[in-house]
A and B are shown apart, each in its own frame.
Chain A
Amino acid sequence: QKEVEQNSGPLSVPEGAIASLNCTYSDRGSQSFFWYRQYSGKSPELIMSIYSNGDKEDGRFTAQLNKASQYVSLLIRDSQPSDSATYLCAVIGVGGSTLGRLYFGRGTQLTVWP
C-alpha cells in the first residue's frame, strides 16, 4: 500500500511570508509528483508537477524534489490571502495496472492572514 504523508497542519502564515508545505512518500520507485490546491467545496486544482530531483519554479510557487529522501515540498513565496486553501500532495502509481493512478496525502490546510 503506497503512502503519502503530509503535515496535517493547519499552517498559518502572515501575508507576504513564505509558506512551506512538506510531503513524504513510501514508494521509492515513484517518478511523478504533483501539488493540487483545493478551495473549500471546490475541485482539486493542479498547480505544480515535478519529475526530476531539484527545484521547479512557476511564479510564486517552487516545488522541490529529493528522491533519495523520498521527499517533495512546495514553497509559496509572498503568500497572499487568496492562497488560503488545502494543498494536496499526490504521487503517481508505477508499474503494471496501477500506472496512472494518483495516491494522495490528506492535505495541509494553509491560512494566510492579512
Chain B
Amino acid sequence: EAGVTQFPSHSVIEKGQTVTLRCDPISGHDNLYWYRRVMGKEIKFLLHFVKESKQDESGMPNNRFLAERTGGTYSTLKVQPAELEDSGVYFCASSQPGAGGYEQYFGPGTRLTVT
C-alpha cells in the first residue's frame, strides 16, 4: 500500500511569490491533515479535511494560506504571497477512523524556504 506522498520535496521562493504544495493521502483515507514545523518549534496543526469538506481550519495562520481538496482525493496548500516566516516543513497526514482510531500517517514533507 502506497503511503502519503507530497510534492515538491523542497521549494525555495522569494518573498512575495506564490507556492503550491500538493499532498496525496493513502488511498481510501477520508481524513487529510496539514501540519507545519517551523525551525525550533513543535509540529503544529494547520487544517483538517474530511473528504472534500474543511472540518477544522483554525490552525491556518492567516488568509495568505488557502487549502483545497477537490473531489476528496489529493489536497493542495497555496501560500500567496509568501512571507519569510512561512519557511518551514509542511507535512500532510491522513487517517481513516475505525479500528485504528485516529492514527495518522505522515508524508515526507515539503521543505519551504522563503528568501
Per CB-CB distance, the 3 closest pairs between chain A and chain B, nearest first, are: A97-B56, A104-B43, A101-B45
Establish whether residues B59 and A4, one from each chain, have CB atoms under 8 Å apart when the complex forms. no
Decide yes or no whether B55 CB sits under 8 A from chain A: yes
Interface on B for A, CB 8 Å cutoff? 4, 31, 33, 35, 41-45, 48, 55-56, 58-59, 91, 93, 95, 100-109
Which chain A residues lie closer than 8 Å to B107 at the CB level? 43
Main secondary structure of the interface of A (DSSP, over half): mixed
- A34-B103, A43-B109 known, 13 other contacts, Cβ within 8 Å: A43-B91, A43-B107, A45-B106, A46-B103, A46-B104, A46-B106, A51-B101, A88-B43, A92-B102, A101-B59, A102-B35, A103-B45, A104-B42
Establish whether residues A106 and B42, one from each chain, have CB atoms under 8 Å apart when the complex forms. yes
Interface on A for B, CB 8 Å cutoff? 4, 32, 34, 36, 42-46, 49, 51, 88, 92-93, 97-98, 100-107
CA distance in complex: A114, B2 (Å): 34
Option from B48, B105, B108 in Cβ contact (under 8 Å) with A100? B48
